[in-house]
Amino acid sequence: MTPPTQRPSAEIWGGLECSVVLVGRTLRDQFRETGHHDRIADLDAVAGLGLTRLRYPISWERIAPDQPEDCDWAWHDERLGELRRLGIAPIAGLIHHGSGPGYTCLLDDALPEKLAAFAGRAARRYPWVTDWTPVNEPLTTARFSGLYGHWAPHQASEASFLRMLALQCRAIQRAMQAIRREIPHARLVQTEDLGRTFATGRLQYQADHENERRWLSLDLVLGKVDEAHPFHSRLLRAGVPRAALAALQEGVPGPVVLGFNHYITSERFLDHRTALYPPHTHGGNGRDAYADTEAVRVPAVIGQTGWLPRLREAIARYPGIPLAVTEAHLGCEDPAHQVRWLAECWNAVAALRGEGADLLAITPWTLFGAVDWCSLMTQRTNRYEPGCFDIRGATPRRTRLGDAVHALGHHGRIDDPAAEAPGWWQREDRFHPELKLAG
């Protein structure tokens, strides 16, 4: 069903939802909540999919929760050893949406040095691991922790957001320096959400701001934020020291892969006509009130959303740097839609590779599902969404999505007819009803 490409197909990587997030005084650990913590046999099931690499944590919060030097490596030794036996190369993550252990946080000026110290220990422990993600999605984490207050340390200001972001990005740089002292050829796989904001004319200024902001973490990590950068002065006003910004301009030399994660919710539409939208979408920026909704639910942006246009923007923004899709997942009740979302990703990557783009891989995410991500883990409802496996049984069961990933991993194509059918985000009934009446 999915047509072959002229060039060799992209690799199939994989990922397990592994967030360790402090919400209030509650620590949400997705490996424990999905049961993966207790099921080493999961890794055999993962190997059966035909993946070449697996995003997998060497979790700072889990290894050294109380004291920096008091490390318990036993669980990770066993799992990483099993991955090595199975021939799956790990992409090791150190912080995944968290604030780090209790002796630091996202506003700790010492965060970069503390993470670098742990990264050095991890690299000495696992010198055969060559791919590293010291901090997953730093901009997304800073938004949820510093701009919206969902996660610890529960701040809600642009100044907090920008300070958290700068500290995380410097932590990435310092961690990679520490890792490369032990593993000189180590590769940074830096992940971030890839979206876009659309808006009515009145709110275009806000969309422009968000569309420039979406690149800020990668610009910081790569050393591209100099005095001419549109966010340089905002970072200074937020309290980021000038010396810290100068240090960030060191960047991270290659090898580097930029990993992009794209979701239905990554693309937004801002509309000042709030009466046309349900109350849960209403918000604002202190200057204008507006509705903030998924862009696919608005007729005005038909043909402008999805994998292909967003990946084209990333290729144009960062020429010459290898890219990968590091999360492809659709949370929904219908597995056919999950297959369709994966197929769209695969087809977009195949098309861009056919044009010569250096897109290395796609990564089906949440292989064993996720718990309470519908509320960003801020509510304890134990709502589970499956991925390639469904854990609601005596043993994990491979799903229809898992069958599609297996087909990609072994044959480079998806044979499920759902791959060619329209997803809900392409149907006429997806639009907000009042928008259709308004014309």
Q: For the domain that residue 150 is a member of, what is the CATH number?
A: 3.20.20.80
Output the pTM of the full model.
Answer: 0.96
Residue 108 domain-assigned?
Answer: yes
Residue 207 domain-assigned?
Answer: no
Computed over every residue of the chain, the mean pLDDT equals 96
* Predicted confidence band of residue 5 (pLDDT cuts 50, 70, 90): very low
Residue 212 domain-assigned?
Answer: no
What is residue 22's three-state secondary structure? strand
Query: Region 403-417: what's the mean pLDDT?
Result: 96
Task: Give the chain's domain count.
Answer: 1
Residue 236 domain-assigned?
Answer: no
Q: Quick: pLDDT tens for 36-88.
A: 999 999 999 999 999 999 999 999 999 999 999 999 999 999 999 999 999 99
Cα dihedral sign for 30, 34, 35, 41?
A: negative
Q: Quick: pLDDT tens for 286-320.
A: 999 999 999 999 999 999 999 999 999 999 999 99
The answer, yes or no, to whether residue 438 has pLDDT greater than 90, is no
pLDDT in the model for residue 333: 83
**383/376 Cα distance (integer angstroms):** 11
User: Given the structure tokens 């939802």, which residue do they identify?
Assistant: 17
**43/80 Cα distance (integer angstroms):** 10
pLDDT in the model for residue 317: 98
Contact 311, 359 (CB under 8 A): yes
Residue 352 domain-assigned?
Answer: yes
Query: Region 400-409: what's the mean pLDDT?
Result: 98
Query: Region 243-265: what's the mean pLDDT?
Result: 97
The answer, yes or no, to whether residue 126 has pLDDT greater than 90, is yes
Do β-strands 256-262 and 187-193 pair in parallel, antiparallel, or remain unpaired? parallel
pLDDT in the model for residue 434: 83
Q: Quick: pLDDT tens for 384-394.
A: 999 999 999 99
Query: Region 414-428: what's the mean pLDDT?
Result: 94
- Cα–Cα distances in Å, from 304 out to 281, 296, 298? 21, 9, 11
pLDDT in the model for residue 436: 67
**99/176 Cα distance (integer angstroms):** 18
Residue 148 domain-assigned?
Answer: yes
Contact 145, 154 (CB under 8 A): yes
Residue 281 domain-assigned?
Answer: no
- Rg over alpha carbons for the chain, rounded to the nearest Å, is 21
Share of the chain above pLDDT 90, in %: 96
Residue 293 domain-assigned?
Answer: no
Q: Quick: pLDDT tens for 181-200.
A: 999 999 999 999 999 999 99
**175/115 Cα distance (integer angstroms):** 6
pLDDT in the model for residue 241: 98
Query: Region 330-340: what's the mean pLDDT?
Result: 94
Residue at 426: amino acid letter: Q
**306/264 Cα distance (integer angstroms):** 8
Query: Region 138-162: what's the mean pLDDT?
Result: 98
How many other C-beta atoms can be found within 10 angstroms of the C-beta atom of residue 413? 17
283-295 burial, b if ≥16 CB within 10 A, otherwise e? eeeeeeebbbbbb
pLDDT in the model for residue 257: 98
Query: Region 270-281: what's the mean pLDDT?
Result: 97
pLDDT in the model for residue 81: 98
The answer, yes or no, to whether residue 6 has pLDDT greater than 60, is no
Question: By residue range, what is the domain housing residue 40?
Answer: 11-195+253-262+323-438
**330/337 Cα distance (integer angstroms):** 8
The answer, yes or no, to whether residue 4 has pLDDT greater than 60, is no
pLDDT in the model for residue 78: 98
Return the HEC string of 48-74: HCCCCEEEEECCHHHHCCCCCCCCCCH
